Amino acid sequence: MNAAWRPEVLEFFAGAGMARLGLDGWQTAFANDFDPIKVAAYRARFGPEALRPGNVWDLALEDLPAGTADLAWASSPCQDLSLAGARRGLSGSRSGAFWGFWRLLEALDADGRAPRLVVVENVVGLLTSNGGEDFRSLCDLFAQRGWSVGALEMDAALWLPQSRPRLFIVAARSEANTLAAPQAPFHTRAIVEAHAGLSARARAAWRWWSIPTPGSPRSELADLLQPDEESAWLEPARAKVLIEMMGPLHRKKLEAVAALGGRRIGTAYRRVRIERGVKVQRLEARFDGIAGCLRTPAGGSSRQYVLVVEGGTVRARLMTPREALRLMGVADDYALPSSNSAGLKLAGDGVAVPVVRALSEGLLKPLLTGRERRAA
């Protein structure tokens, strides 16, 4: 492979540019997003002309660069597909933006300029939204257009101390890097079950994409958090109220951690649970060295807490935007927005950088070069 070779990517729903950060060695020929906060962050990182703002539905074929890009990347909105959302699927007002992207992809294909690779990144809920019909429809669309298609469920926890499973649908006009059967950890039970429900045409186009599992250990949660002395801890009375929101199971978990002694770090979210027919807000914590999945700060329950158990006491504080970006694999030279809410939104809506890098190096580039990498 030519060392100077830089494949081109069209980046839709570009967000804060985390996919671009992970696509090492790629050249972004075009980027688009409509959210002003994300547009400002993207331009601050990559330059004022790096992204075209606006709704994907307002773009036409003429707005895209001439020539044929190697990859089209689409991290379309997930609110209608998430297990935490209303599950309206691809017909929802937000996730339905995917069809604006697909319209452009069809136009490129009709013009003889379709990219050889397409990646659609979304929440795992896409596998089951609308009774699985959304996933079936997407696979059918690619099969009809002559792409091979497959999917991988990749959890950021393999690379970073954050539980963040995401679905990557990869369509290609190439046959490299395929397996004869599904293989853990990236072909999960949910993907296998979704594959079983595909149409005959989509199953014929289906490929079990092969990608290596990470070989190096992930970073430690404690290493990504700011020093205690620089942190804004809750007043003891407020921390006590927060801890008292724990249910019996999580209180026992906290007591077990405290009994171990030393300094123990955990993270927690407030969640609404139904107990005896009544809605109750509970604090749910984990002390396994992995943060909970980052979310956008739409309300108080979407802010993640850091808990430190030490010397018989429990301190609590909110996770900072810088820490959240570190949990996405974003380096500290990335400029933060002026407000905490905006910074947390960038992280909660983003795609983990090391995951994109692993997909790029382990599958996308080999698919472009035709260099087969056989699984062990």
Q: What is the pLDDT of residues 328-349, one digit of tens each?
A: 999 999 999 999 999 999 999 9
| Residue of 243, 98, 216 whose CA lies nearest to 158 | 216
> What's the rounded Cα separation, in Å, for the pair 97 and 94?
6
Beta carbons within 10 angstroms of residue 367's beta carbon: 25
| pLDDT higher than threshold 50 for residue 49 | yes
84-95 burial code (b ≥16 CB/10 A, e <16): ebebbbbebeeb
Structure tokens at 78: 């997930």
State the pTM of this model: 0.92
- Give the pLDDT mean for 86-99: 53
Mean pLDDT of the chain: 90
Residue 370: predicted pLDDT: 77
- Give the pLDDT mean for 226-235: 96
Residue 297: predicted pLDDT: 77
The reply to whether CATH 3.40.50.150 applies to domain 8-217+349-369 is yes
Residue 95: predicted pLDDT: 46
**Low-confidence winner among 171-180, 256-265, 325-334 (lowest mean pLDDT):** 171-180
CATH 3.40.50.150 residue spans of the chain: 8-217+349-369
DSSP secondary structure string for all residues of 140-208: HHHHHTT-EEEEEEEEGGGTSSB--EEEEEEEES---SEESS--TTTS-HHHHHHHHTS-HHHHHHB-E
The total number of residues shown for the chain amounts to 376
- Give the pLDDT mean for 275-297: 94
**Low-confidence winner among 75-79, 133-137, 182-186, 258-262 (lowest mean pLDDT):** 75-79
| Residue of 134, 159, 139, 133 whose CA lies nearest to 151 | 139
Q: Report the DSSP beta bridge partners of residue 8.
A: 27
| pLDDT higher than threshold 50 for residue 78 | no
* Farthest CA pair distance, the chain: 67
- Please state whether the peptide bond connecting residue 248 to the residue before it is cis, i.e. omega within 30 degrees of 0: no
> What's the rounded Cα separation, in Å, for the pair 46 and 302?
29
Residue 3: predicted pLDDT: 61
Confidence of residue 301 (pLDDT cuts 50, 70, 90): low
**Given the structure tokens 């993270």, which residue do they identify?**
267
